[in-house]
Structure 1
Amino acid sequence: MPVAPAPPVIPDHGPVRWSISLRDTATCEVLHEHDPHQMLTTASVAKVFALVELAARASTGELDLREVVARPPSRRVADSGLWQHLMADRLTLSDIAVLVAATSDNWATNVLIDRLTLEAVQDQARDLAPGGSTLHDYVRNVRTGDHPATLSEGCADDWSRLLSDLAQGRCVDGQTSRQVRDWLALNTDLSMLASAFQLDPLAHTTPDLGLLLWNKTGTDTGVRADVGVVSTGARSFSYACLANWADDGSHEPRRTVQATMRAVGEWALRELRS
């Protein structure tokens, strides 16, 4: 019998701090981990908590996803997202969720948090992530001493567990889980761990190369984070791969992080198909 390939070695010391966890979604068995409880900055990953809160309220009938919401100029944020480039000033909650999931839209995220309240999203995070992963704040162009230091923090153990629950329909309820999975399947950022799967970033809502993927990423200065679920017809793995480093403007740490994340994805793919 051939020996299974060893997962990539993650340095315990060095410029990059890692938190990694991969699980079999059917059993929740840990397949590989590295410092899974270490809390790191996770940028946009925690926007998933807002999507879960929205889906949960829609599931109970408390909110209608067809409700139309306006975007206040005060919540506009640059960088990721498409709404800042669109002429439409009002969108349905469903459309807003699609923008958040597909392009990590910052303006849409802030509008969604306004509708749900930050406190409600944080309460949902406490229920879903016992290790303390959370969304601290709105997305902002500039952070001052009056604001939380970072948008979100999290650990890989929280995220691999939460994603396993989403995959198995255990996140709040089955309808909520399905809705969040459908939204996350639209994500266009497959540049990190998911780059190993060689899927079309603009169209992967149906199986391709025998794989189905849904995920959420987070990117900031010195931050890369990718959490998701990848499955074949027979097996399904949840993964969370988080990396932080002190960014000095050089390219090498980023290259190292991106290469390592892809290597973890390639190992996961070999295991998934074994």
Structure 2
Amino acid sequence: MQQVLLDELIQRFDGDLSLCVSTMQGEVLFCHQQNHIFKAASLIKLPILSCALQQVQAGQLAMTDRLPLTAENQVPGAGVLHEMETGLSLTVQDLLTLMVVVSDNTATNVLIERLGLDAINAHIQHIQLQHTFLVGKLQMPLNLQNDLQKTGQRSTTSAADMNLWLLSLVQGKLLTPTLSEWALNLLKKQQDRLVISRRLPRTSDGELLYEVASKSGEIPSHRHDVGIVFAPKPYLVSLLSRGSNDFREHPDQALTLRLAELSERIFWLTQSV
């Protein structure tokens, strides 16, 4: 019955939907158009995170290294660093935390500059993400965009790629156990809980009953969320969508509500398998 209800939600989804759900062992439980390519929005920050941590692992970077905040990297959108005075110096650990927990675009640009665009895309290819590509720094004004950005190209990914990234992280294929645990704990602190976590079971005090390690992404007409739900039967879930005419940055934005309903249905289905 739960599968039927999930299929019904997918069939009447108003917009383009891509999803992939699997066990922690990599068994695909169900999927829908998982290889469709979407603008990545802030999901692109996940391979940036693993690229940075792999450089830490290799001794090419330290979590305590300080990187300067420059005016060029200060861009609008999510985060707080665009409101800070230039010249501020933050550690790599601080920048990674801001990039994930509050999805700070400026922190992301500082990290892209330090890691290198080519190195990040080489990392993406190395971990075999087939549809994921970082086109450049985020939210750059036209005069500072690179040639690809000026043609209208944007960073991309897919539900299949995001599930593979999550699986590689949780299975310890990306990083050492210590750095894997650090990354997972960071994802558990993400403040955007409006999609995957929104309608999951909670305690009488309103706290989530089970931990969720996730990363969201949002740009006009696109809403994504991917993560790991540590339920009694834990699972990985990647939800990507586009096509809404509701451009609000609002908890009740249309795609947000539809994806949250799907997430709830996926939860009950996975627990009944």
Q: For the superposition of Structure 1 and Structure 2, which TM-score range results when normalised by the shorter chain?
A: 0.7 to 0.9
Q: Which residue of 2 aligns with 1:39?
A: 37
Which residue, out of 181, 185, 188, partners 1:178?
Answer: 181
CA contact (8 A) 2:18 2:36 kept: yes
| CA distance in structure 1 between the aligned counterparts of 2:117 and 2:173, rounded to whole angstroms | 23
2:66 aligned partner, one-letter code: V
SS at match of 1:264: helix
Equivalent residues in 2 for 1:146-165, closer than 5 Å: 146-148=147-149, 149-165=152-168
CA contact (8 A) 1:187 1:214 kept: yes
Equivalent residues in 2 for 1:126-165, closer than 5 Å: 126-143=125-142, 146-148=147-149, 149-165=152-168
1:46 aligned partner, one-letter code: I
SS at match of 2:76: coil
246 and 147 in structure 1: CA distance in 2 versus 1, 3 angstrom threshold: farther
Aligned sequence identity (%): 21
CA contact (8 A) 1:42 1:224 kept: no
| CA distance in structure 2 between the aligned counterparts of 1:60 and 1:118, rounded to whole angstroms | 18
Which residue, out of 183, 191, 194, partners 1:191?
Answer: 194
SS at match of 2:199: helix
Instruction: Compute the displacement of 1:146 (Å).
Output: 3.4
| CA distance in structure 1 between the aligned counterparts of 2:50 and 2:270, rounded to whole angstroms | 27
Instruction: Compute the displacement of 1:117 (Å).
Output: 0.5
Instruction: Compute the displacement of 1:218 (Å).
Output: 0.7
RMSD over aligned Cα, in angstroms? 2.7
Q: Which residue of 2 aligns with 1:218?
A: 217
Q: Which residue of 1 aligns with 2:170?
A: 167
SS at match of 1:134: coil
> Number of paired residues?
262
| CA distance in structure 2 between the aligned counterparts of 1:198 and 1:141, rounded to whole angstroms | 39
Q: Which residue of 2 aligns with 1:80?
A: 78
1:96 aligned partner, one-letter code: L
Task: Please give the TM-score of this superposition, normalised by the length of structure 1.
Answer: 0.85
Which residue, out of 242, 261, 264, partners 2:262?
Answer: 264
Q: Which residue of 1 aligns with 2:242?
A: 244
235 and 170 in structure 1: CA distance in 2 versus 1, 3 angstrom threshold: farther
Deviations 1:4-51 (A, max 9, x none): 4532535569861111101111x2111121100111112010111111
2:115 aligned partner, one-letter code: L
Tell me, which stretches of 5 or more residues in structure 2 are unaligned?
none
| CA distance in structure 2 between the aligned counterparts of 1:217 and 1:17, rounded to whole angstroms | 17
Task: Please give the TM-score of this superposition, normalised by the length of structure 2.
Answer: 0.85
CA contact (8 A) 1:21 1:30 kept: yes
SS at match of 1:158: helix
Instruction: Compute the displacement of 1:179 (Å).
Output: 2.6
Tell me, which stretches of 5 or more residues in structure 1 are unaligned?
none
Instruction: Compute the displacement of 1:54 (Å).
Output: 1.0
146 and 60 in structure 1: CA distance in 2 versus 1, 3 angstrom threshold: closer
| CA distance in structure 2 between the aligned counterparts of 1:112 and 1:180, rounded to whole angstroms | 16
| CA distance in structure 2 between the aligned counterparts of 1:117 and 1:48, rounded to whole angstroms | 15
Instruction: Compute the displacement of 1:237 (Å).
Output: 0.7
199 and 223 in structure 1: CA distance in 2 versus 1, 3 angstrom threshold: farther
| CA distance in structure 1 between the aligned counterparts of 2:57 and 2:34, rounded to whole angstroms | 31
